[in-house]
C-alpha cells in the first residue's frame, strides 16, 4: 500500500481570492497563482515517496457560474508546474446534491483515489484550509493538517495539526514520516 498527501486546491496550492473573509476560487489562469514554497514542498513529499492527490470542490461549475473548461485549463497548468499524481474534482453545487458522495466534507474523492491507486488512508494525510477539508480527511481515516488563513468560519472538528502554509505542512508530514519509520 502507498502513502498519499491529499491536498485541497484553493488556499493550499494556489492563492484563494478572499472576499468578506471567505475564500473563493480563481476564475481564470491570470488569477491562478501558485503559493510560495508549494513547488518545493511538493517535490520533497514526492521524493519521500508520497503520492500527491488534489481533492477539490468546484461547485461554481455545477451552479453554472464557471465553465468546466476553465477549471480543466487551471488543472492542466497545475499539472505542468507541480508533480501531482491525480486531481479529483467534485463539480456538484452543494445544496440539493444529497446523493453526491464526492463533495467534501464527504470522503468520496479520497476513497475513490485510494481504492484506484492502492493508498493506505491510515498512513496518509489531508491538507486543507477549510472545515470541509478537515472533516473529509477525518471521515476517510487520514491524519489532517489545517492551514490557518484566518477565514471568517469555524472548524467543526479539530485538525490533528495546524500550520501557517503548505511548506510547514510538508515539513510536519515529512518529520512525522521519518519518526514513524524509525
CATH number of 96's domain: 3.40.50.1000
Q: Which residues contact 5 (CB under 8 A, 6 or more apart)?
A: 45, 50, 51, 52, 53, 124, 125, 127, 170, 173
Note the pLDDT of residue 21: 81
Note the pLDDT of residue 141: 98
The beta-carbon contacts of 34-37 under 8 Å, at least 24 apart in sequence, are 34/78, 34/81, 34/82, 35/165, 35/166, 36/165, 36/167, 37/165, 37/166, 37/167
Q: What is the pLDDT of residues 37-71, one digit of tens each?
A: 999 999 999 999 999 999 999 988 988 888 999 99
Q: Which of 10, 129, 133, 135 is catalytic?
A: 10
pLDDT value at 95 more than 80: no
pTM: 0.94
Phi, psi (rounded to 5 degrees) for 97 = -105, 40
Going by pLDDT thresholds of 50, 70 and 90, the confidence category of residue 35 is very high
pLDDT value at 182 more than 50: no
Domain count, the chain: 1
CA 147 to CA 161: how far, in whole Å? Answer: 9
Note the pLDDT of residue 109: 98
CA 78 to CA 164: how far, in whole Å? Answer: 22
Gyration radius of the chain's alpha carbons: 15
Range list of H helices, the chain: 38-47, 59-63, 68-81, 108-117, 131-140, 166-181
For 145, the domain range is 4-181
CA 168 to CA 170: how far, in whole Å? Answer: 5
Q: What is the pLDDT of residues 100-127, one digit of tens each?
A: 899 999 999 999 999 999 999 999 999 9
Q: Which of 8, 60, 129, 135 is catalytic?
A: 8
Active site residue 10: yes
The whole-number average pLDDT for the span 130-154 is 94
CA 64 to CA 49: how far, in whole Å? Answer: 38
Note the pLDDT of residue 96: 58
Work out the widest C-alpha separation in the chain, in whole angstroms.
Answer: 50
Residue-level length of the chain: 182
What grid cell was written down for 178?
521519518
Amino acid at each position: 500500500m502507498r502513502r498519499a498527501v491529499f491536498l485541497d486546491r484553493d488556499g493550499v496550492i494556489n492563492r484563494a481570492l478572499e472576499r468578506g473573509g471567505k475564500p473563493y476560487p480563481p476564475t481564470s489562469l491570470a488569477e491562478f497563482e501558485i503559493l510560495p514554497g508549494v513547488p518545493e514542498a511538493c517535490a520533497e513529499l514526492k521524493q519521500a515517496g508520497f503520492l500527491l492527490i488534489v481533492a477539490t470542490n468546484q461547485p461554481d461549475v455545477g451552479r453554472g457560474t464557471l465553465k468546466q473548461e476553465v477549471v480543466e485549463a487551471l488543472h492542466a497548468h497545475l499539472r505542468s508546474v507541480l508533480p501531482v499524481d491525480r486531481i479529483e474534482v467534485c463539480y456538484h453545487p452543494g445544496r440539493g446534491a444529497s446523493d453526491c458522495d464526492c463533495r467534501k466534507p464527504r470522503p468520496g474523492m479520497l476513497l475513490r483515489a485510494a481504492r484506484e491507486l492502492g493508498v493506505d488512508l491510515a498512513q496518509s494525510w489531508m491538507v486543507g484550509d477549510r472545515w470541509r477539508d478537515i472533516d473529509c480527511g477525518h471521515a476517510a481515516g487520514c491524519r489532517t493538517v489545517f492551514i490557518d488563513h484566518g477565514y471568517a468560519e469555524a472548524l467543526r472538528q479539530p485538525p490533528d495539526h495546524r500550520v501557517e502554509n503548505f511548506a510547514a505542512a510538508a515539513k510536519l508530514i515529512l518529520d512525522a514520516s521519518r519518526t514513524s519509520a524509525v
